């Protein structure tokens, strides 16, 4: 395939995917802003999605400018448009590649940040991914610098530039596989711990969103590396396609969760896939018998509040009917849905503790 043909097909592919990104980003803004109260807007995912969209838009604008120059402005120069496109060290190419390297850095950082939250803000868990993303950024910017050192009509498929570019994409691939694995392990481990007492479908829904979305970028990256190593100009088509895909993947997660398109819509955009049901501990009887409801501090403090969060009062409720005294400690996590308890919700038995069934609780309103 001629390089000129690869450029034209690649830019067309990038434009089509950018259109998909535009729709997803608009939906993302609607989900994060218009469907929430001002005090519950999640600024971090909104900022990262906006930054990725701006970078993808800037990259596409540079690509369209290059096509316009090659096919219109420089067509009458010696060598014509073919010579123009083959000169890849022009400022448009170098700037576009710098934007591309920045998108990889931001996209990988988003995945690492999500892993950091899932693991309860444990820095040691993400130390290796952080090192990998820093190495990815360094190798990417070195590759951009090597573009400026290419001889006239040099190629990006051979020499030091090809090695640094391959290293950049390999490191990004390893980073995404590692962080996705850590997130999946954390969700599965949490689901196993609570599977005996609550419905774990929200956890499985969260796992499905992460794995399915990460598989899009991972698969595209693997295919690109295979084609790039084969040293064919067709690699440029996939190179252009990857740029909007980097932004589409994290934005798609936000949209799927926000619109309830997950396998279970009970997970938060930037929080855990679900929060545990309130647990109830039975204590020895007292005289007179009472029912004490205690609201504890949130156990998932780093997570932003869900749009469905309700405030539960911390007052004690006395229930004098019945032979037993039950002390109910309601452990609510930040972002969970507040519940009210009725007499029918409680099953008195001799066990030391039991879990409230979600299906027997009713949601409170402020």
- Tell me how many domains the chain contains: 2
pLDDT of residue 212: 65
Distance CA 317, CA 140 (A): 61
CATH number assigned to the domain comprising residue 66: 1.20.1070
266 inside domain: no
Mean pLDDT value of segment 10-24: 95
Domain that holds residue 351: 275-366
Of 277-281, 294-298, 348-352, give the lowest mean pLDDT range.
Answer: 348-352
Is 264 part of any domain?
no
Indicate the pLDDT class of residue 33, thresholds 50, 70 and 90: confident
Q: Are residues 240 and 339 in the same domain?
A: no
Q: Choose one of 230, 258, 286: the last residue of a domain.
A: 258
Confidence at residue 319, expressed as pLDDT on a 0 to 100 scale: 36
Structure tokens at 321: 């009917």
pTM over 0.75: no
pLDDT of residue 58: 96
Listed in sequence order, the residues at least 6 apart from 202 whose beta carbon sits closer than 8 Å to its beta carbon are 264, 266, 267, 273, 274
* CA angle (16, 105, 167) in 5-degree steps: 95
Q: What percent of the chain is modeled with pLDDT above 90?
A: 30
Q: What is the pLDDT of residues 90-133, one digit of tens each?
A: 888 899 999 999 999 999 998 898 889 888 889 999 999 999 99
Examine the domain organization and report whether 13 and 162 are in the same domain: yes
The last residue of one of the domains, among 231, 258, 285, is: 258
Residues 159, 286: one domain? no
327 contacts 282 by C-beta, under 8 angstroms: yes
Residue 87 domain-assigned (yes or no): yes
* Better-scored residue on pLDDT, 329 or 34: 34
What distances in angstroms separate CA 168 from CA 90, 92, 272, one per listed residue? 21, 20, 30
In terms of domains, do 29 and 125 share one?
Answer: yes
Query: Quick one: pLDDT at residue 42?
Result: 77
| Assigned domain for 141 exists | yes
For residues 345 and 211, membership in a common domain is answered with no
**Model pLDDT for residues 215-234, shown as the tens digit of each residue:** 888 888 999 999 988 888 88
Domain membership of residue 162 (yes or no) is yes
Query: Do 286 and 214 sit in the same domain of this protein?
Result: no
């Amino acid at each position: 395939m001629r390089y000129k043909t690869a450029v034209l097909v690649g830019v067309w592919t990038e434009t089509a995917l950018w259109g998909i990104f535009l729709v997803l980003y608009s939906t993302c803004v609607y989900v994060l802003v218009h469907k929430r109260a001002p005090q519950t807007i999640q600024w971090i995912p909104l900022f990262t999605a906006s930054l990725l969209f701006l970078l993808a838009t800037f990259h596409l604008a540079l690509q369209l400018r290059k096509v316009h120059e090659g096919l219109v402005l420089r067509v009458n120069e010696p060598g014509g448009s073919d010579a123009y496109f083959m000169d890849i060290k022009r400022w448009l190419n170098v700037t576009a590649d710098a934007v591309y390297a920045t998108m990889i850095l931001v996209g990988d950082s988003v995945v690492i940040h999500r892993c950091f939250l899932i693991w309860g803000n444990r820095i040691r868990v993400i130390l290796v991914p952080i090192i990998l993303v820093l190495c990815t950024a360094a190798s990417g910017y070195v590759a951009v610098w090597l573009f400026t050192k290419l001889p006239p009509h040099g190629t990006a498929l051979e020499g030091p530039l090809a090695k640094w570019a391959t290293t950049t994409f390999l490191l990004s691939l390893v980073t995404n596989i590692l962080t996705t694995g850590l997130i999946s392990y954390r969700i599965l481990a949490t689901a196993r711990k609570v599977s005996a007492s609550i419905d774990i479908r929200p956890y499985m829904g969260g796992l499905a969103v992460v794995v399915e979305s990460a598989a899009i970028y991972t698969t595209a990256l693997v295919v690109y590396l295979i084609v790039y190593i084969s040293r064919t100009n067709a690699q440029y088509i996939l190179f252009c396609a990857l740029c909007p895909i980097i932004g589409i993947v994290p934005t798609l997660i936000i949209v799927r969760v926000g619109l309830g398109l997950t396998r279970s819509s009970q997970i938060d955009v930037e929080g855990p896939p679900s929060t545990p049901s309130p647990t109830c501990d039975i204590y020895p009887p007292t005289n007179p018998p009472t029912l004490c409801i205690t609201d504890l501090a949130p156990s998932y403090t780093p997570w932003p509040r869900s749009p469905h969060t309700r405030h539960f009062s911390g007052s004690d409720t006395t229930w004098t009917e019945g032979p037993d005294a039950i002390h109910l400690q309601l452990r609510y996590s930040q972002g969970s849905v507040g519940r009210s308890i009725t007499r029918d919700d409680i099953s008195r038995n001799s066990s030391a503790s039991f879990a409230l069934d979600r299906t027997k609780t009713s949601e409170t309103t402020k």
